Amino acid sequence: MADIAELTKLIAPAAEAEGLALVRVKLIGGKSDPTLQVMAEDPKTRQLTLDDCARLSRRLSDLLDDADPIDHAYRLEVSSPGIDRPLTRLSDFDDWKDHEARIALAEPLNGRKQYSGALLGTEGETVLVDVPGQGPVGLPFAAIHSAKLVMTDRLIGATAPLSAEGADEIFETHDTTETEED
């Protein structure tokens, strides 16, 4: 199995050369259908356009072909983190302050591994979450196994597309095949 930390060190400079910030590198699938998933974004907009995606994909494809860091066949997938994005960097918890998140810890803290609530930002290496019924809770960043934003109307508003051109157009299609009635 490939070392994700080493893959990240290899991929991050390529993303930065395209003016993008690397969000996550992950191997998904299994041995029968492995996929190297690379999520990136424009740091100014927190989005990834189709052109950005294509440029980064071409650059990574060439880089990975040359470096050959994975000893078996795999599929390369370059994508945006999406609206309900993973939170992978300490700065993500500040960037998405006041938005709802689900956080899973690697090991239980105070008898719990799962936390949900509004992000309150960070203090040092601690992620602060306002957990309903419990209030503010500090979670060590190093203890977080996974975290992602929760889809809410507020989040949708905060992640509006760069351009909504064409979004108000309606295209009607008509099925011209005939169906036989009994």
- For residue 176, is it within any domain? no
Looking up tokens 């003016």 gives: 19
Q: What pLDDT is recorded for position 180?
A: 47
Helix (H) or strand (E) holding 6, with range, is helix 4-17
The answer to whether residue 62 sits within a structural domain is yes
**Is 182 part of any domain?**
no
Among the three residues 79, 108, 124, which one is the final residue of a domain in this structure? 79
Provide the pLDDT for residue 2: 76
Is there a single domain that holds both residue 103 and residue 48? Answer: no
Number of domains in the chain: 2
Residue 165 lies in a domain: no
Full-model pTM: 0.78
Q: What is the pLDDT of residue 161?
A: 67
How far apart CA 145 and CA 140 sit, in angstroms, is 11
Q: Which tokens go with 75?
A: 């599929």
What the block records as the tokens of 126 is: 């601690």
**32 domain residue, yes or no:** yes
Residue 55: CB atoms within 10 A of its CB come to 16
Q: Are 8 and 26 in contact (CB under 8 A)?
A: no
* Spatial separation of the C-alpha atoms in residues 130 and 31, rounded to whole Å: 39
Residues of the chain with pLDDT under 50: 176-177, 179-182
pLDDT tens, residue by residue, 131-156: 999 999 999 999 999 999 999 999 88
What pLDDT is stored for residue 179 in this prediction? 47
143 with 105: CB under 8 angstroms?
yes
Domain termination site, one of 24, 45, 79: 79
Q: Which residue range is the domain that position 107 belongs to?
A: 90-158
C-alpha radius of gyration, the chain, whole number: 20
